[in-house]
Amino acid sequence: MVISLPFMKIKSNRHPKSVPAKPSPSIRHYSSIVLDGPDRAPSRAMLYPVGFKAEDFLKPIVGIASTWSMVTPCNMHIDKLASEAAAGADAAGGKAIIFNTITISDGISMGTEGMKYSLVSREVIADSVETVAGCEGMDGLVAVGGCDKNMPGCLIAIARLNRPAVFVYGGTILPGCLTGTGRKLDIVSVFEAVGAHANKLIDDKELLAIESCAIPGPGSCGGMYTANTMASAIEALGMSLPNSSAQAATSEAKRDDCRRAGAAVVELLKAGIRPRDIMTKKAFENSITVVIALGGSTNAVLHLLAMAHSAGVKLTIDDFTRVGKKVPVIADLKPSGKHLMSELVAIGGIRPLMKILLDAGLLHGDCMTVTGKTMAENLAKVPPYPAGQTIILPLDKPIKKDSHLVILRGNLAPEGGVAKITGKEGLVFTGKAKVFNSEELAMRAILDGSIKKGHVVVIRYEGPKGGPGMREMLGPTAAIMGRGLGKEVALITDGRFSGGTHGFVVGHITPEAYNGGPLALVKNGDTIIIDAHKHELNLGISAQEIKTRRKAWKPMKPRYTRGVLAKYANHVTSASLGAVTDYNLDLSVR
């Protein structure tokens, strides 16, 4: 049979008898450039083998960015979720194309040189999603992410492209269980068991039992660690469908979330709603508010700054202080609390929490979301948490009356540092410095018992440029907790922390040591004062002594001179700016 199209005639026995009317060019703004007209026949020819039919060339192309891999349980199921999103887009009148990007595993690489690639992967993911969508003329996007760098990486790309898009969280893992005890486990349980083992609190057999059953299947780490923090932040931003952040990875609810996300992108194309219409300054304030209420990860500061930069929104670390003054911590979730994300899912997820915050005037209800409705409209009929639940506390009986994410400044952090202080550790710590020029050296000292009560562990030359890559310090902080020193030892670094970290910790210290920041000048035995009341981080020596030490300081040579780590170190900005790699580029016009 012969089919007539506006630009060609095709003879084939696999095409339908009729072709849908040509949709509005506005919803095929990018794909029409790649696929329409006689001269684009080679482009169309390349797509028949991957499943296109003639009528598909008249549909908007919806890219499905999948972060699937077998590198980590966080992402091992995402290929199936991507297929569900594709089916949803196709059923709604789009044509889906699934493509992959990379992922790494923090949990596996933590404490090794490999961890230096973790934050770098955020940029690689962002660049790759932008590259594929830009190259192939995709009109809209669904991005499905699991492990924590996937999420900001996808959102950075979505903001750069500014094409209608929805983010889908891959979902939280279910808890492991230690046989015979009923004790619920997650990955942080294993890290802390390492410290307990070093302190002879558990033996080899118990350590093996914990490691072998802590991770029971697919999904992201189970507490309010960075993955669940960022999923919640993105939902609060308006870039995920309601409840996407609070579903088990293996649930039917998550599969339905994916199908609805595919359909939602087609509706966003029709409505002309683009990411930057949603990712406004007020929307980022909503994200900060929800992260604080949940007691979320310090990484949220780094990632939200980077996402805002790509969206052309002026967000600074001082916005976290401004918003944090009025928002309490009300979620009793791990790592500093008792409960896992799966338990929060069981009582309704974060939506009732957001309704509480909205009703208290702490959220901007007029922000647009990917549903095409405002935040207030999305939350209007959300029921409250069940009576008697103990995971989310009342606003008037919080865990902490203001933010646990405390931005500190002082002579040790002139451009800022980020502390995670819930109040359980106390709000002021003064101690003597024990200085290490790498994470490995610090870890060795913690495990061999060299770190004692009253010490402030200083880990430096681990910043974005100095590491390079700004490694997370879950190993040392978990080892401190495992040795029973969580309230008696502090740790500060120009690196960063896993969302699983808790204790008296300060990261993201800027300027970093590699750039000659004051952290490079600290000596063993110096007094360090961390004061969350005053938002200060100070070195207890005179300004003259700092000046003298600075004159004697010599820069370190780059640790890498070839490859992705060298390129990253050459381009990355300060952590106080989000550790982005395109800061000097004008992203206001795309």
Whether omega before 558 lies within 30 degrees of 0, making that bond cis, reads no
Q: Which two tokens stand for residue 558?
A: 């780059």
- Residue pair 22/37 in contact (Cβ under 8 Å)? The answer is no
pLDDT, mean of residues 227-232: 97
Mean pLDDT, residues 421-431 taken together: 87
Task: Show the CA angle centred on residue 169, arms to residues 212 and 268, nearest 5°.
Answer: 170
The C-alpha atoms of residue 149 and residue 159 are separated, in whole angstroms, by: 16
pLDDT at position 24 is 57
**Using CA of residue 245, residue 361, residue 274, residue 154, what is the dihedral sign?**
negative
Task: For residue 498, indicate whether it is catalytic.
Answer: yes
Quick: pLDDT tens for 233-271.
999 999 999 999 999 999 999 999 999 999 999 999 999
Residue 184 tokens, joined: 């619920």
Task: Name, in order, each residue with C-beta under 8 angstroms of 383's C-beta and a sequence gap of 6 or more.
Answer: 348, 352
Residue 580, both tokens: 């982005």
- pLDDT tier, 426 (very low <50, low <70, confident <90, very high otherwise): confident
Closest C-alpha among 337, 356, 338, 285 to residue 314? 285
pLDDT score at 8: 31
> What pLDDT, on a 0 to 100 scale, did the predictor assign at position 590?
32
Helices (H), 54-140: 78-91, 106-109, 118-136
pLDDT on residue 47: 98
- What pLDDT shows up at residue 342? 95
Model pLDDT, residue 98: 98
pLDDT at 510 over 50: yes
Of 232, 244, 336, 498, the active-site residue reads: 498
Alpha-carbon dihedral angle through residues 150, 257, 96, 145, given to the nearest 10 degrees: 10
Q: What is the mean pLDDT of residues 280-290?
A: 98
Here the tokens at position 255 are 């599969």
171-180, 220-229, 441-450, 569-578, range with the lowest pLDDT: 171-180
The secondary structure element, H or E, covering residue 284 is helix 281-294
Which helix (H) or strand (E) covers residue 429, if one does?
strand 428-436
Strand partners, 141: 63, 165
For 367-399, write each residue's pLDDT tens digit.
999 999 999 999 999 999 999 999 999 999 999
- Residue 197's SS3 state is helix
3-class secondary-structure state, position 334: coil
CA gap 555, 574 in Å, rounded: 17
249: Cα separation from own chain's centroid: 17
- As a whole number of Å, the CA-based R_g of the chain is 25
Taking a C-beta distance cutoff of 8 angstroms, is the pair 305, 315 a contact? yes
CA dihedral 344, 346, 349, 353 (to 10 degrees): -70
Residues in the chain, total? 590
Number of helices (H), then strands (E), in the chain? 21, 16
On the question of a cis peptide bond just before residue 511, with omega within 30 degrees of 0, the verdict is yes
Given this model, what pLDDT does residue 584 score? Answer: 65
3-state secondary structure of 2: strand
Sequence-distant (≥ 6) Cβ neighbours of residue 353 within 8 angstroms:
290, 293, 294, 330, 331, 385, 392
Tens of pLDDT, residues 152-211: 999 999 999 999 999 999 999 998 888 778 788 888 888 888 888 988 999 999 999 999
Q: 379 near 392, Cβ under 8 Å? A: no
Q: How confident is the model at residue 111 (pLDDT cuts 50, 70, 90)?
A: confident
